[in-house]
Amino acid sequence: MANIKILSTHAVQELLRELGPLFERAGGFSLTIDYDPANALKRRIEDDTAFDVVIVTRPVIDALARQGKVHREACTDIGRSGLGVAVRQGAAKPDITTVEAFKHALLAARSLVRSKEGTSGLYVETLLDRLGIADAMRDKIVLGPSGRIAELVARGEAEIAVQQIPELLPVKGVQYVGPLPAELQLYTVFAAGVGSAAKDRAAAKAFVDALVTPSAAALFNLKGVEPTPR
């Protein structure tokens, strides 16, 4: 039985939790999945961490292809997600439907958690500058670890979280408020690629192909990721 080692961003963790076992049963493969932010995965791969398939943001996979770490012809976009807001379960949901409302919600919050180095966290840092509230928010920022930062909201360690929508939806103890206003929204495209040193390239390619089937697309939608049109 071929084992496929996958390095993946957290944004598709819920998707792989359901799709992975289906793939294993259908193809007779076993999967080992390791999650980290895209930029952290890039560093690990550059440091020669072994992998068969990587699922990261499009800019990161393009960089890995240029370095020869993944087969360029075996890279494919699988979906995209936007950013959303979550608050603790039972708390009043703030109005974030307009830019001004979103800005007011942030200023009214006691604390805001963002990821330390994930795509969403880096964007939030620039977004606060863009909204002109970086100084006002400086002492309210909580830097979350890699993974689901809304867990800090669930534990009462922060009042509001901004992150990729598919990373907010599964967190117990919080409620999803909604997406960022369209004018502020950042969509991140996720892509999958086969490693240049993959032990079983055919098996790795089969897994990447499974991510773009109609059944996978339906699952993407349920998990807060918009599948790439085919």
| pLDDT grade for 138, boundaries at 50, 70 and 90 | very high
CA gap 98, 103 in Å, rounded: 8
**Quick check: 210 pLDDT over 90?**
yes
Cα–Cα–Cα angle for 5, 7, 205, rounded to 5 degrees: 60
pLDDT grade for 26, boundaries at 50, 70 and 90: confident
Name beta bridge partners: 189.
Answer: 80
Residue 32 has pLDDT above 90, yes or no: yes
Residue holding tokens 């004018």? 183
- The pTM for the full model equals 0.85
Highest mean pLDDT among 112-121, 142-151, 206-215: 206-215
Q: Which two tokens stand for residue 67?
A: 């370095």
Give residue 116's pLDDT. Answer: 85
Q: Please return the burial class of 112, using the count of CB atoms within 10 Å of its CB with bins 0-12, 13-18 and 19+.
A: buried
